[in-house]
Amino acid sequence: MFADRRDAGRALARKLEDYRGREDVVVLGLARGGVPVAFEVAKALGAPLEVFTVRKIGAPGQEELAMGAIATGGAVVMNYAVVDQLGIPPGRFDLAAERATVELERREQAYRGDRRPIELEGKTAMLVDDGLATGTTMRASVRAVRELGPERVVVAVPTAPASVCRELASLVDDVVCVTQPTPLVAVGQSYRDFTQTTDDEVHALLAAADAGQDDPAF
């Protein structure tokens, strides 16, 4: 188990040595929980850190169960297995997606503020999260980041099921995962401290990365 997200980020960085010191790499932390992990990865690799906003579309009455996801740029991915299993009608999904879009736009403004738009054309975009259960949010992120024109897309996470890693490997250029527990019911089972990441923590980590600080104060 990882002590917390920062510890997981350091473990993940050790698996990413091939990307250390490369000028083409941009580390994208999926907000919010992926940003502390991505901070440690970016620091170890000597790469810039950016925030990439993605919002899970929770199933009715089971908000932690992703029936889809939406990411920066408006890319939407539906988790057909969940939608079919729960018998969710298209209109119900569309309504939930609209609500998720409102929150995603709020977070995008809150996190990015006056930061310059992400420039990924010709770069290696490394998408980092704190872990994957179904992979739905990551698939939405991959679809969205492709629209920004990177040369390569890499998915890097501390923990995910082997089946999800195999699925993502068909969508991106590289998948790096530290642990692949079976079964993985929830990402939090791989952490001793899985306290929710706050907006303030995201701001502090981005500011510290911009300033070249190793240990931001929260």
pLDDT of the chain, 218 residues: tens digit per residue: 899 999 999 999 999 999 999 999 999 999 899 999 999 999 999 999 999 988 888 888 887 778 888 887 777 888 888 899 999 998 899 999 888 888 888 888 888 777 777 789 999 999 999 999 888 889 888 988 988 899 999 999 999 999 999 999 999 999 999 999 988 888 999 999 999 999 899 989 998 998 888 877 65
Strands 152-159 and 62-71: unpaired
Q: Comparing C-alpha atoms, which of 22, 67, 64 is closest to residue 42?
A: 22
CB 26 within 8 A of CB 47: yes
- Asked if CATH classification 3.40.50.2020 holds for the domain at 5-211, the reply, yes or no, is yes
Q: Comparing C-alpha atoms, which of 27, 101, 105 is closest to residue 68?
A: 101
